[in-house]
């Protein structure tokens, strides 16, 4: 429908939409328009190829100026998601990891429940040509994928955002049990701090057998620790245990550690 009724309430809430290395300004603009159509307003860009601001994006947004004007640009994905409590990664390709995979309707209802409980959430969308890397998917808590024709599964980024935005709006009237308010969901900043700590202490103790296997092993650790959706309190307990183990084994020789991946 062309045009906008300026007398009606402008809906602007919900999960942040995060585009990783988007290429064309027109695609960013169409994403902003799709978001505005269905009540989303927070758009984050990670290293947009043609820089920002981008007049082609504004033109393609078709008056979704409130989305374009509020765009935030980040140098890396870690910074873009640091303040979020829960993240979905969109992908059409099978992934070798431990993450739960949901459809768009189920994922959107979950996002509604988290939003109602005060959590900050986001949805990752990859590059136009080849999507998200395994490392980027590993930074999310769960995966959302679309029921598409297996012989023609590719969606452009604006289509993918449109589908998720529509499901977000559609789920607005459905009752979903809220999450427990008594505990604070961990942000990506808390998790990244834990991963940096694990990287250091495991490297010191020879957990990573060879340098070429370390990225995959770290991806597996990220998958393990993001899947349960830890709270701040739980991460504090876990880190306290690990620090205690490190403190009281100072003389343990650095050698090859036997682990489940052997």
Higher confidence at residue 220 or residue 33?
A: 33
Residues 63 and 154 in one domain: yes
Global pTM value: 0.75
154 with 62, same domain? Answer: yes
Q: Does residue 237 register a pLDDT over 90? A: no
Q: Are residues 233 and 106 part of one domain? A: no
Q: Say how far apart CA 201 and CA 205 lie, in whole Å.
A: 6
Q: 114 and 72, same structural domain?
A: yes
Domain boundary among 140, 173, 206: 173
Assign 207 a pLDDT band (cuts: 50, 70, 90): confident
**Predicted pLDDT of residue 9:** 55
Query: Do 236 and 169 share a domain, yes or no?
Result: no
Give pLDDT, residue 1.
42
Q: Do residues 103 and 229 share a domain?
A: no
E strands, the chain, in order: 16-20, 43-46, 72-74, 86-90, 101-102, 121-125, 142-144
Total count of domains within the chain: 2
| CATH number of the domain residue 212 falls in | 1.10.8
63-105 tens-digit pLDDT: 999 999 999 999 999 999 999 999 999 987 766 667 889 999 9
Least Cα distance to 128 among 57, 34, 22, 200 occurs for 22
Q: Taking 70 as the threshold, does the pLDDT of residue 175 lie above it?
A: no
The last residue of a domain, from among 117, 149, 173? 173
Structure tokens given for 203: 């490297």
What is the pLDDT averaged over residues 46-56? 96
State the DSSP string of 88-142. Answer: EEE-SS---SS--EE-HHHHHHHHHHHHHTT--EEEEE-BTTTB--HHHHHTSSE
| Owning domain of residue 223 | 188-247
Phi-psi region of 210 (alpha: psi -120 to 50; beta: other; left: phi over 0): beta
| Statement to judge: residues 130 and 208 lie in one domain | no
Q: Residue 258 — very low, low, confident or very high, per pLDDT cuts 50/70/90? A: very low
The DSSP bridge partners found for residue 43 are 17
Based on the fold, state whether residues 134 and 20 are members of the same structural domain.
Answer: yes
Residue 174 confidence class, pLDDT cut points 50, 70, 90: very low
Q: Per the structure block, which two tokens stand in for 208?
A: 């990573």
Q: Is residue 254 part of a domain?
A: no
Residue 221: CB atoms within 10 A of its CB come to 17
Residue entry with tokens 């009540």: 39
């Amino acid at each position: 429908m062309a045009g906008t009724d300026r007398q009606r309430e402008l809906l602007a809430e919900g999960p942040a939409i995060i585009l990783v290395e988007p290429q064309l300004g027109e695609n960013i603009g169409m994403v902003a328009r799709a978001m505005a159509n269905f009540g989303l307003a927070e758009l984050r860009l990670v290293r947009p190829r043609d820089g920002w601001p981008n007049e082609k994006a504004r033109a393609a947004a078709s008056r979704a100026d409130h989305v374009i004007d509020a765009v935030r640009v980040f140098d890396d994905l870690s910074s873009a998601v640091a303040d979020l409590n829960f993240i979905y990664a969109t992908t059409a390709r099978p992934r070798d990891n431990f993450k739960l995979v949901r459809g768009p309707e189920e994922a959107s209802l979950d996002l509604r429940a988290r939003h109602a409980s005060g959590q900050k959430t986001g949805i990752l969308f990859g590059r136009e040509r080849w999507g998200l890397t395994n490392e980027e998917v590993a930074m999310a808590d769960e995966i959302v994928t679309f029921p598409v024709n297996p012989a023609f599964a590719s969606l452009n980024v604006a289509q993918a955002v449109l589908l998720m935005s529509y499901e977000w709006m559609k789920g607005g009237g459905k009752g979903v049990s809220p999450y427990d308010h008594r505990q604070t969901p961990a942000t990506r900043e808390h998790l990244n701090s834990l991963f940096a700590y694990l990287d250091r202490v495991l490297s010191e103790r020879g957990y990573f057998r060879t340098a070429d296997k370390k990225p995959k092993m770290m991806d597996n650790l990220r998958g393990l620790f993001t899947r349960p959706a830890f709270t701040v309190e739980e991460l504090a307990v876990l880190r306290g245990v690990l620090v205690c183990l490190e403190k009281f084994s100072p003389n343990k020789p650095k050698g090859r550690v036997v682990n489940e991946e052997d």
